[in-house]
Structure 1
């Protein structure tokens, strides 16, 4: 529930900020008359995410066990790719997001068609919605029948909508840069766990060699080898005697760091490589984008009273304005 809550909160807040920027810009242009078109696009994006989730959930029942594992593993790999791209895209595009969104609105208004603005709202939210749906679906699949995971995601999305509304109203302040940095790091770990689970699905389906296939190394009793003797297609470790797979501790560890009581060597290797490569790139990106604090300077105002100004880098490091325009 905690993991899916944080995912719903982060992804929902991104979407809420995008919608807030669009709504605030239209109001500033005194074009409240076209707001229904924007909300139509936003509603269509939300509906698309719900439909995808329903198709993935109920469509799986018509598949064989092997088919379910192949579909689940493949979609989990797609999810890992989308989340990884989104983590780095958000950092790069965050500085120009407001200008990009406003430019899209300007072009839609110039076109003068209803569908142009509907499309702006749809595209702006659909990416977040589809990504959230795939990520939550992959995590719920890994937990099995876990209504608490769905509840956590719903609560996260609800809190995100409330937070976005309060930010737009100026009722709260939130350091969005720090928020997305911490949640981005959390998503790196989550994605590594989803990757490990995707390989587990594909190994059970026999698509990838592992403990469930003929490539598994066996001992004299016919059991799959564990530890160094099981490298590369056996079990890396098996602590199910200490941590039951259905225990609360096992679920918590899997939801937060991707740990399962029994993991194959390919799962462990994939998890370690993902953390090492993506985690390193993420941390390096933080170091490159950390603004250097520069001394404030005083310039005379028109009234003769000194006014303190800050450099752009210092302002970027400060707490983000509660308004949607500043939130970008």
Structure 2
């Protein structure tokens, strides 16, 4: 018994720290929702912002707010956010989301208290000797020693920056920026120690002010990935004009903007984040000295394209959404009206109602399938895996599109189409079964509806809800007009040209969705990214200049061409 008692006490001792750790609440999902909402606000995607705000509110309701003073501030900030959301104006919404973020930080500190003063003293103890030695080297204008001390500072900053970021994003940005400026100045061939002293003083003051607990407010500017792209574009233009030194101010501004948007890069491409943070000061230093100008320009172009690849994810338009519904709807209408025309020729017009009944049942089943898939897809798409799901479902959609395109091409021959219809309807009439006749119509509609749902699943994560619905609405209006024409002139429809045009359309969409889907997997690092520098980025076509996207698209084009040649030969 004594041994059991000792063992029991030992287990309590070992497990007690675990219990304390488990007691700490994790509010990471709340901060992720706020960050994503800020990104979507900057992009003007208000449907996505609305969904993220609703998710944030729902997640907040699940948080234990017992005996919390800061919880009221979070409630007030979320209410302010919802009011700003109704106005759909960028600046008020960003300000409201910033207030939510600050309120959540205060709430988290209240629930999981840390000794911030002790952390600041930890930062002071780590940086004071390095800054002292760095100052001495700068005063002596000892460039080699100054760079060695800078490297020590950078190494220590990597270890301690998390403390600064958690306590003050404003000081984090200021120290990060001045560190970049210092490296840039030390990398210049002709070093300006007056400039270096000024940068050092600003850096040392920022560290000292943070350590003393002085408050520094962050400026709320609408910086985004596009801001970085624009600055790199200007720097590239300056180098192109044979003025490499004129590019340096743009790279300095890049470093100033960087702390405000680095999170967008870090969460999408960790290796690119590290390269930009490390290499932009080096590039600026070499351009200032006129060293390896062409090589530095090549890097600027590469980084610009890399950031564009991060930004160019949502590239579907209203017309992309409309074309899918239009193509599938036209095919379904064509089949139904052809069935009706067949009945009329067979003097069985009284059986038309069963075709319409089957079509109606197909529509109902398609809607039911859409509701089920939408619920399943939405649940699965939550969190970090939504990009992966977009990529996988998009590739599945492409495979289905190839099959549909081949079927359309085969039926573009009038003889083949007539044989297809006679086979389907002949089976129904020979049995004399009303059920089988309705079933032919049902399958014609349901097959198209089911395919449309799969196609939209691949597209949905990369287009706003408003654009998707608008595209569908446009398609419905056009389909209604075609339905009247088909019913009136069903016996005079030119089947061949219609199916050939539909074939070209479906292959175009397959090419685009394949590129966008693989790119979505690249963003989540599920697929590697190897850029092809000379090729342009064309988001409207789903063309991204990487070997991983181009090679599958080339293979797709080859499959399409080989299939088309075989079908044409067989038709002849």
TM-score, normalising length: structure 1: 0.64
Provide the rounded CA distance (Å) in 2 between the counterparts of 1:238 and 1:197.
Answer: 20
- 1:101 matched to 2:101? The reply is no
- 1:284 matched to 2:565? The reply is yes
Partner of 1:152: 471
- 1:5 matched to 2:322? The reply is yes
C-alpha contact 2:369 2:450 (8 A) present in aligned 1: yes
How many residues are matched?
Answer: 252
Partner of 2:336: 19
- Runs (5+) with no aligned partner, structure 2: 1-317
Larger radius of gyration between Structure 1 and Structure 2: 2
Q: CA deviation at 1:83?
A: 0.9
Indicate how the Cα distance of structure 1 residues 184 and 269 shifts in structure 2: closer, same or farther if over 3 A, else same. Answer: same
Partner of 1:317: none
Q: CA deviation at 1:290?
A: 8.7
Q: Which of 108, 112, 124 is 2:444 aligned to? A: 124
Provide the rounded CA distance (Å) in 2 between the counterparts of 1:278 and 1:271.
Answer: 10
Write 1 or 2 for the structure with the bigger share of helix.
2
Indicate how the Cα distance of structure 1 residues 141 and 91 shifts in structure 2: closer, same or farther if over 3 A, else same. Answer: same
- 1:60 matched to 2:377? The reply is yes
Provide the rounded CA distance (Å) in 2 between the counterparts of 1:279 and 1:109.
Answer: 36
Q: After superposition, where does 1:180-191 map in structure 2 within 5 Å? A: 180-191=499-510
Provide the rounded CA distance (Å) in 1 between the counterparts of 2:559 and 2:554.
Answer: 10
Partner of 1:38: 355
Give the secondary-structure state (helix, strand or coil) at the position aligned to 1:76: helix
Provide the rounded CA distance (Å) in 1 between the counterparts of 2:419 and 2:484.
Answer: 21
Give the secondary-structure state (helix, strand or coil) at the position aligned to 1:30: coil
Q: Which of 381, 401, 404 is 1:83 aligned to? A: 401
1:27-76 CA distances to partner (integer Å, 9 max, x unpaired)?
33333333232222212222233233333333233224354344433322
Q: CA deviation at 1:283?
A: 5.5
Structure 1 vs Structure 2 CA RMSD: 3.3
Q: CA deviation at 1:135?
A: 1.8
Provide the rounded CA distance (Å) in 2 between the counterparts of 1:158 and 1:102.
Answer: 30
Indicate how the Cα distance of structure 1 residues 44 and 67 shifts in structure 2: closer, same or farther if over 3 A, else same. Answer: farther
TM-score, normalising length: structure 2: 0.39
Provide the rounded CA distance (Å) in 1 between the counterparts of 2:570 and 2:424.
Answer: 27
C-alpha contact 1:10 1:180 (8 A) present in aligned 2: no
- 1:138 matched to 2:475? The reply is no
Partner of 1:294: none
Give the secondary-structure state (helix, strand or coil) at the position aligned to 1:259: coil
Partner of 2:549: 267
Indicate how the Cα distance of structure 1 residues 166 and 49 shifts in structure 2: closer, same or farther if over 3 A, else same. Answer: same
Q: Which of 197, 200, 211 is 2:519 aligned to? A: 200
Provide the rounded CA distance (Å) in 2 between the counterparts of 1:138 and 1:237.
Answer: 28
Q: CA deviation at 1:285?
A: 5.4
C-alpha contact 1:192 1:258 (8 A) present in aligned 2: yes
Provide the rounded CA distance (Å) in 2 between the counterparts of 1:281 and 1:153.
Answer: 33
Partner of 1:258: 542
Provide the rounded CA distance (Å) in 1 between the counterparts of 2:527 and 2:323.
Answer: 33
Q: CA deviation at 1:171?
A: 9.1
Q: CA deviation at 1:266?
A: 1.4
- Runs (5+) with no aligned partner, structure 1: 211-232, 244-252, 292-328
Partner of 2:435: 115
Provide the rounded CA distance (Å) in 1 between the counterparts of 2:471 and 2:342.
Answer: 32
Partner of 1:325: none
Partner of 1:318: none
C-alpha contact 2:518 2:527 (8 A) present in aligned 1: no
Provide the rounded CA distance (Å) in 2 between the counterparts of 1:174 and 1:105.
Answer: 18
Report the more deviating stretch, 190-199 or 277-286. 277-286
Indicate how the Cα distance of structure 1 residues 103 and 174 shifts in structure 2: closer, same or farther if over 3 A, else same. Answer: closer
Provide the rounded CA distance (Å) in 1 between the counterparts of 2:492 and 2:350.
Answer: 29
